[in-house]
Amino acid sequence: MRRDWYVLQTKPRAEKKVAQWLGFYRYFCHLPLTLHVRKVNRRKVKSYLPLFPGYVFTKLLPEERVTMLKTNLIVRTIAVEHPRRMIHQLRQIKNATHRSPEVKVVHDFAAGQLVRVTSGPMRGVEGVVKRNGPNATLCINVDILSATVEVAVPPEDLERVESV
């Protein structure tokens, strides 16, 4: 049987626990994390938080999906209609998080020009531009979650991508 891609919507702050359960059952799991630094009592405290709070990406068989629902940590499962597109978007986000520490998720962005980064550490990443002063903000979209990751990129490093 073939495993299908799912996005598991978890209960609040249960993403890492769901990832542990997926690992325990030896199921595939993808949980993008981002470094979060905050000050507590004049000290910097570093922690890794989910880039998409409340969501974990996985490939499961139907009976494995039922097993995960029994953990009581999952609110619902979202079947992925276009897995190749989602995988491509997740790879772009993974590359962006490795290359730029200033990555954040934005849920409300205005659609703009589709561009590709031509030089610098973000070369090859495609996204939608949202202008912010002297720097452009590149938005990499994840369709299935209706969420976007923002990364600051100099405008001279961008080129227009023609629509297909």
Start-end of CATH 2.30.30.30 domains in the chain: 99-160
**Confidence (pLDDT) at 14:** 96
What single DSSP character describes residue 24? Answer: H
Lowest mean pLDDT among 29-38, 50-59, 140-149: 140-149
Tell me if 109 sits within 8 A of 130, measured CB to CB. Answer: yes
List Cβ neighbours of 7 (8 Å cut-off, separation of 6 or more).
55, 56, 57, 58, 77, 78, 80, 144, 145
Question: How big is the chain, counted in residues?
Answer: 164
> Which of the four pLDDT bands, split at 50, 70 and 90, describes residue 37?
confident
Start-end of CATH 3.30.70.940 domains in the chain: 4-80
pLDDT in tens, 68-94: 999 999 999 999 999 999 999 999 888
> Which of the four pLDDT bands, split at 50, 70 and 90, describes residue 10?
very high
**Confidence (pLDDT) at 107:** 45
Q: Which fold has domain 4-80?
A: Alpha-Beta Plaits (3.30.70)
pLDDT of 109 over the 50 cut: no
**Confidence (pLDDT) at 108:** 37
From the list 6, 10, 49, the residue with the least C-alpha distance to 28 is 6
Q: Which fold has domain 99-160?
A: SH3 type barrels. (2.30.30)
From the list 161, 158, 89, the residue with the least C-alpha distance to 123 is 158
